[in-house]
Structure 1
Amino acid sequence: MSDGVQEMRTDVAHGARIYDYILGGKDNYAVDRAAAEASQQVWPALPVHMRANREFMHRAGRFLATECGVDQFLDIGTGIPTSPNLHEVVQEVKRDARIVYTDNDPIVLAHARALMSRTGQGATAYVDADLRDPDTILGSREFRETLDPDRPIGLMLIAVVHFIEDDEEALDVVRRIVDVLPPGSYVAATIATDDYAPELLAEVRRAYREHGETLKFRDHGTALRFFDGLEVLDPGLVQMHKWRPDDLASPQVPEADIAMYAAIARKP
């Protein structure tokens, strides 16, 4: 949980830095690389899975901006900047789109300037905070001054809720944020699951834990609870590579290579 600038921990892995390493970035440490390599040894599909997650974020951002008219976003669990970032995607559609990014890793904070660049007439801001502390996020000056609380907001929860192991805690913090969003807002989320390769992913979870990082997989029924009270859009809660893919003719990815569900839902 964040109450200001986080201490730089290089002795334990961090999800944002593991993700960065898998995607070919350089903002990671030996412990992050070790966690990633150990995970890939037991589940070689990890890079395919993580690229699919990034691609879903791009599709979700474009869909919300293009099809739903959303022009302001709250992205919690931003991760280390990897272009195109959310603001680059949505400002291609809505030049005046406004985005608030949130993460709790000092490396993400150090690179936040890259998230502040504008591709249109909109605005971006960064909040150093943890998903577990929604009051800090929603009460921040950056959130209050960047986003209009009276107009729909697109909440992005991309590959983040699995870092909270307790189901009720994870559901509660998401619900507390959604409750504050105005009617007509949307929630786009990817939620880790081991429904398709439980034995392999048990080893991935063990590798993460051995290097100091949490990882919680959830079945379809539990994942769907994150959207309670919301109108889940077609095609529902599906493996993330199956959510409105850009190219229906692209080669099929084996189900066992994808370990996240994805959905977009509207707040009535």
Structure 2
Amino acid sequence: MFTSIAGRSVIVTGGSKGIGKGIARVFAKSGAKVVVVSRHLKEAESTAEELRRDGGTAMGFAADVTSMGDLQVLAEATATAYGGIDILCANAGIFPQTKIEELSPEDWDFVSDTNLKGTFLSVKACLPYLKKSDQGRIVITSSITGPITAFPGWSHYGATKAGQLGFMRTACMEFAKYGITVNAVLPGNIATEGLAALGPEYEKSAAACIPLQKLGKVEDIGYAALFFASKEAAYVTGQTIIVDGGQILPESTDALAQA
């Protein structure tokens, strides 16, 4: 039985949909006070209202993770509303699909600014408040794509997801003196709006490559993040959890057929 996380304050960037919404839902159901962050206030408030209807404590907030000013306002507002910041789930990310030959420098920068620089800025803005917590936690949403696997069209995305892990390892060393842990969840193919937009054939082929023969749920990522945020994970830092239904394991589809 894990120690209750009830009453802890948590910021979830990119929390209005997809994996971020799953993370926010898991934390809210566990009694945490959640701030759902999106670039669009209406979407953030809509998700926060859903969490409140389910009995959780949540508020929506509009912020762009590429803007240090936005994130500083977010951190201050969270600390004022909830009495501090205990947990940051740096989840905001984008994955437009463009092959290298067609990829423009501007598109590369846009993905990098959102996924990688956005992680850095989110951490930097929240750090003064996390230092005051007796259970400071940073949980980064990375991916199997980049650190472990690859897919055509996602060179920029993969680079940022691998980059997040490099940032994580140094951050956990620098923040250890404050008792803050920094870890990352690496999702495989998870059933989200973004994945659905790639089409039913992609979803079908993705599931066929997974030993469990199904896509993951957004809550699966939320539970991994919840573990990293727990009191029991106080001695775990600079680590990753792969949540992929075994996706990275088969050498080929033939391996799955013979299992």
**TM-score for both structures, normalised by structure 2:** 0.50
| Structure that is richer in helix per residue | 2
**TM-score for both structures, normalised by structure 1:** 0.48
